[in-house]
Structure 1
Amino acid sequence: MRRSLWPTVGDEFQAIFFTLGDALLTTSLVRLTLSEGVDCRFGLGRGETVNVDESAPGTIQDGSAWWNAREAIEETHRREHGTEPYLRSWFVSNNESESGTVALVKGFLLLRDASISSMRPRDRRLTAGTLLGYSQTELAHQEGLPNPRCRKVFDVRGGAALLAAHQKLRKGQLQ
């Protein structure tokens, strides 16, 4: 992260990431690690950030990245209350040369959010643990499950697919 998560107005928090892949992984982990019954939305925006007032407590920033993120969160809200109730994230970039990347990321977000929204609390914990680098043996022990049962839960409930998707994005160096 270029700038770690920080709270802003009301119930919002913001962050600046070095790569889009980092932003996607972090937002996955936030959703996966929230308490049962708690969820949040993410507006991911690509663009420039500019410091407006560095003397203020907590640097105030502006720029196309923030406006794109705001547009993305509004689109997330609109879609969530329309035909995609599982959706919690959207991505906006005004850079015409990366329309393929934008389409790829939006497709990833639709599938990721549907997968996470359908997970049970244990599924979320196992998936988060795996994304954080814990071994299947460690996770099985934490959950009080036999290792083969832990693996089956992970494979069947979407965790394995989400891990594979993040690995492919990382391997492709999604910038």
Structure 2
Amino acid sequence: MISVVTADIVGSRDLADRAGAQRVIEDVLARVHTDLGVAERALEPTVGDEFQGQFPDLPAALQSILLVTLALPDGLALRFGVGVGPVYTIPARGSELPEGPGWWAARQAIDTLHAKQVRAMPAVRTWIAAAQDEDAAVHEQVRLANAYVWARDELVNAMGERARRVVYGRCMGLTQRELAAREQITQSAVSQLLTASGAAGLVEGFVQWRR
């Protein structure tokens, strides 16, 4: 069940240093691709403030999106529209253009997300949509996955940079002792940070998606 992602920068027109923000985001995307290595096509810039990538399944897409969200510094955020469905490419002069129901669903997802952020869910950064012709089981999985990412995004949005770094490290299998050394704080402080931020649920969710 191929999953494709279209992302855009939240508030890109209001950024004081748009070019600098682009460099930071691209560095984060490259880091996540290196650390996780699950993308069939890594998230890369396309046009304007948008990025696109392709993953073998929905769990792989959601793992990558979580790590990207955790790794971005304060003041920078991406919105992610995830499309589940078939994709193909159209030959073009000197390249191939991604196309197909999966991509149409990703565009629908990010449009839906824009509308929901304006209304009652400003902290939500991810929305998932299945291609119209996918069977009922796929649409049900997408519905349940959306419930998961809504809660996940709320937790991440409430975290500071240090908490996000620590959660990223735990997702990558680092111990509390290793994270304490990296952050130059005590292991007890790392434990308290993880407990206070609700990180245990995020890390467990990440582990479950990897199975």
TM over 0.5: yes
Q: 1:16 aligns with which of 54, 57, 60?
A: 54
Q: 2:88 aligns with which of 42, 45, 50?
A: 50
Instruction: Tell me whether 132-141 or 67-76 shows the greater mean CA deviation.
Output: 132-141
- Supply the AA of the counterpart residue of 1:96: D
Q: 2:152 aligns with which of 109, 112, 122?
A: 112
Q: Tell me the equivalent position of 2:100.
A: 63
Normalised TM-score (structure 1): 0.92
- What displacement does 1:54 show? 5.2
- What displacement does 1:43 show? 0.2
- Alignment partners' CA distance in 1, 2:110 and 2:56: 20
**Which ranges of structure 2 fall in alignment gaps of 5 or more residues?**
1-38
Q: 2:135 aligns with which of 86, 90, 96?
A: 96
- Supply the AA of the counterpart residue of 2:135: E
**Greater per-residue strand proportion:** 2
- Tell me, yes or no, if structure 1 residue 135 matches structure 2 residue 175: yes
- What displacement does 1:99 show? 2.6
Q: Which SS does the other structure have where 2:78 is aligned?
A: coil
Query: 1:127-152 CA deviation, whole Å, 9 max, x = no partner?
Result: 11111222221111111111021012
Tell me the percent identity.
Answer: 32
- Alignment partners' CA distance in 2, 1:133 and 1:4: 22
Does the 8 Å contact 2:63/2:210 carry over to 1? no
Q: Which SS does the other structure have where 1:100 is aligned?
A: helix
Does the 8 Å contact 1:71/1:92 carry over to 2? yes
- Alignment partners' CA distance in 2, 1:159 and 1:19: 24
- Alignment partners' CA distance in 1, 2:129 and 2:176: 35
- Supply the AA of the counterpart residue of 1:30: V
Q: Which SS does the other structure have where 1:85 is aligned?
A: coil
Q: 1:85 aligns with which of 107, 111, 122?
A: 122
- What displacement does 1:55 show? 4.3
**Which ranges of structure 1 fall in alignment gaps of 5 or more residues?**
none
Q: How big is the alpha-carbon RMSD for the aligned residues of Structure 1 and Structure 2?
A: 1.3
Query: 1:79-125 CA deviation, whole Å, 9 max, x = no partner?
Result: 11110111111000032322320121101110111011111111111
Q: Which SS does the other structure have where 1:51 is aligned?
A: strand
Instruction: Tell me whether 27-36 or 90-99 shows the greater mean CA deviation.
Output: 90-99
Q: Tell me the equivalent position of 1:126.
A: 166
Query: 1:40-66 CA deviation, whole Å, 9 max, x = no partner?
Result: 100000111111125434x31110111
- Supply the AA of the counterpart residue of 1:149: A
Query: 1:15-63 CA deviation, whole Å, 9 max, x = no partner?
Result: 1101211100100111111111111100000111111125434x31110
Normalised TM-score (structure 2): 0.77
Q: Which SS does the other structure have where 2:42 is aligned?
A: strand
